[in-house]
Structures are given as C-alpha cells and as structure tokens.
Chains A and B, each alone.
Chain A
C-alpha cells in the first residue's frame, strides 16, 4: 500500500476515538512517506536501477533538514511571485515540520495526542505530494534533492 494512504488509514481506523498508538504511527508514517518520496526522486536518475537503494542510504535526516532550511530561506522572498518557488517552499516547509512531528511521535512518549495532531500533518503531506508533482521537472527541484545529500547549495539558487 502507498505509505501516505497507509498513514491516512491508520489515522482513521479507530474513528471516532483513535488510540494514541494509531495517532503516533500515522504521523510517523506520513513523515516517512515524504522522506521516501524525496529520496526516490533523488535516486531516480541513477543509471542502474538495481543500485538505487544504495545511494538512498546516504540520506541523513539532519543533513536533509539543513538543506531544507537553506532552501526555505532562499525561496522565501520569491514564494509569492513564483508558482514554482511557492510549491517548492511548501514541500520544503512541510518536510521540516514533519520531521519535528515524527520526532514527537517516535520519541515524545509522555505527550497526549489529539486527532488534530495527526489530521493536519497528514493533510499537509498530501498537499506537499501534489506540490511536488507540479514542480518535479523544474530545475530547482533536483537542485534541492541533491542539496539534501549535504552538499552546499549553489549560489544561483540563493
């Protein structure tokens, strides 16, 4: 099953009173849906399909976050005037937020979650998937994907 659909299903499987376990797993699954989307897009052009899982393992949550922050700042001034910048900003911003949600879900065990804590991030990831579809062939999209490996952002995208 598609991981994002799975996240939505976990979030609603016990409606109207989902358990904490369902709420937490749903958000963590939504984060990994976006994480794996970006990694799979980054490795898509790797020549030999059988080796695509190897470069995928290079990606690190922390380096991906740093790249996302850099891109978010660089896109900020253009997000109102450029549809591409707006969509990429949305993907980047959602990725940063979902990392924090996922961290709360996986490690913040004392916190009591509500349905809104889960519904909103999943809806945000669904929208980020749509945003990505609209820009994945634009030049800035692969630049962002490559930057998530931990390389410096090129000055022509800053």
Chain B
C-alpha cells in the first residue's frame, strides 16, 4: 500500500466514524425536539379550545395564543438551523484534526 492509499484509508475510516458520531446523534435529537414541540403544541391548542368553550378566554385571546405559538415555532426552526450549523462546525474542526493526524502518520 503506497502513502496515498494509507492516507486515504486512515482519512476515510476517521471521517466516516466522526460523521456517524456527530450527525446521527444530532439527527436523533432534532427529531426528538420536533416531536416534543408538536406534542406540546397539540396539548396547548386542546387546552385553549377547552378554555374557549368554557368561556374562560375570548376568541381574541385564543387567536393571540395561536399567533404566539406560531412565533414560538419560528424560534424553534431558527434554533434547529443554528444547532445544525454548530454540528457542521464541529465536523469542520474534526476534519482538520483527521487530516493532520493522517498526514503525520503517512509522512
């Protein structure tokens, strides 16, 4: 095996391991966060409908909460976007280490 093959073998192995560690964990967390948010939203809307039917809140109040929930959904989407960028940056840092280590092993 020549030096390039050795370099590529080390590089491929480490990159796939790092990517798997970083992104599979992130994907699971992102799916869990989204599921939790949808579950909480459903629960809240059910509560507000119940309060509206009992006359505890007005239709204006109900609309105010729905719009608030929409604002919250926007914030959650922004958070997920940001956490995705964080993972990509962690991968970027790891990639630099992997290349450095692979080169120092080969040369």
A and B form one complex: no
Chain B: residues with CB nearer than 8 A to chain A?
A: none
Chain A: residues with CB nearer than 8 A to chain B?
A: none
